[in-house]
Amino acid sequence: MKYPNGKRLNTSQNTMQAKMGSVFSNRGMTLEDDINATNKFYLESNKAIIHKKPTPVQIVKVNYPKRSAAVITEAYFKQASTTDYNGVYRNKYIDFEAKETKNKTLFPLANVHEHQMEHMKSVTDHGGICFLIIRFSMYNETYLLEAENLFYYWREKLSGGKKSIPYSDIAKKGYLIPFHYQARIDYLATIDKLYF
C-alpha cells in the first residue's frame, strides 16, 4: 500500500507500524465513546435497546448574545444521577455504570457513589442484570464486573477495609471484554455467557 505519502513501506516499517497500531489503536477514544458506538450497533442490528441516561439538569441562566447563539451560563443538577446506562436485552432489564481509570494496580471505590450502589442493589433485588464496566486505560483493558462482586468490595470498604479493588482481583473475578470493530465493547457477549 502506498498510503499516506505515496511511498511503499519496507517490511521492517510494516512490522513496526503494525506493532504500534495495536498499541495505539484505541488511543483518544474514551470508554463512553466506545460504549455509545456499541449501543448504536446493538440498536441498529436489533440486538438490544440500551441507552445512556440523560443527566437531569435545571437551567437557571441563559445568555442570548444573538438569537441563534444561546449560551447556558448557570445550571444545577436536579438530583443525583444513578448509573450511566440502561435498557432491555432478551426480555431482561440491563443497568450498568462505566468507569475508566489510569491507575495500574487498582480501581478506587471513590469512583462509585453510595446512591449508585443503592440503585444497583435495587436493580439486582428486582431481578435486573447489573454490572460495572471498568477500563484500565494504561493497559487498554476493559472488564465487566458483576454487581454482586462490586457489593462485596463496597461492604468491605464500609466496614473499614480497603477502599479499592485490586487490578488482580478484577482480572480474576471480572470478564475481559475484547475490542471489536463494530461492537467495540461487546459486553452482551459476556452477558450471554453469564445469564443465558
Residue 67: Cβ-neighbour burial (10 angstroms; 0-12, 13-18, 19+): exposed
Q: For position 71, what pLDDT does the model report?
A: 83
Strand spans (E) along 78-154: 85-89, 92-101, 106-108, 129-136, 141-146
Q: Does residue 70 lie in a domain region?
A: no
Residue 21 lies in a domain: no
Binding residues for Mg(2+): 82, 84, 97, 116
Q: Give a yes or no: residue 134 inside a domain.
A: yes
Host domain of residue 87: 28-54+80-195
Query: Residue 13: inside a domain, yes or no?
Result: no
63 bridge partner residues: 71
How confident is the model over 124-175, as pLDDT tens digits? 999 999 999 999 999 999 999 999 999 999 999 999 999 999 999 999 999 9
For residue 98, is it within any domain? yes
Q: Is residue 90 part of a domain?
A: yes
* 176 within domain boundaries: yes
CA 117 to mean position of chain CA atoms = 16
| Amino acid 26: pLDDT | 42
Looking up residue 145, the CATH number of its domain turns out to be 3.40.1350.10
> What is the tally of structural domains in the chain?
1
Residue with cell string 432491555: 88
Q: Which residues are annotated as a binding site?
A: 82, 84, 97, 116
Cα separation, 48 vs 67, in Å, equals 40
Check residue 59 and give its pLDDT.
79
pLDDT at position 66 is: 77
User: Does the residue 45 lie in any domain?
Assistant: yes
Provide the residue-wise pLDDT of the chain in tens; the chain has 196 residues. 333 444 444 544 444 444 444 443 444 469 999 999 999 999 999 999 999 987 767 777 888 877 777 888 887 766 667 899 999 999 999 999 999 999 999 999 999 999 999 999 999 999 999 999 999 999 999 999 999 999 999 999 999 999 999 999 999 999 999 999 889 999 999 999 999 9
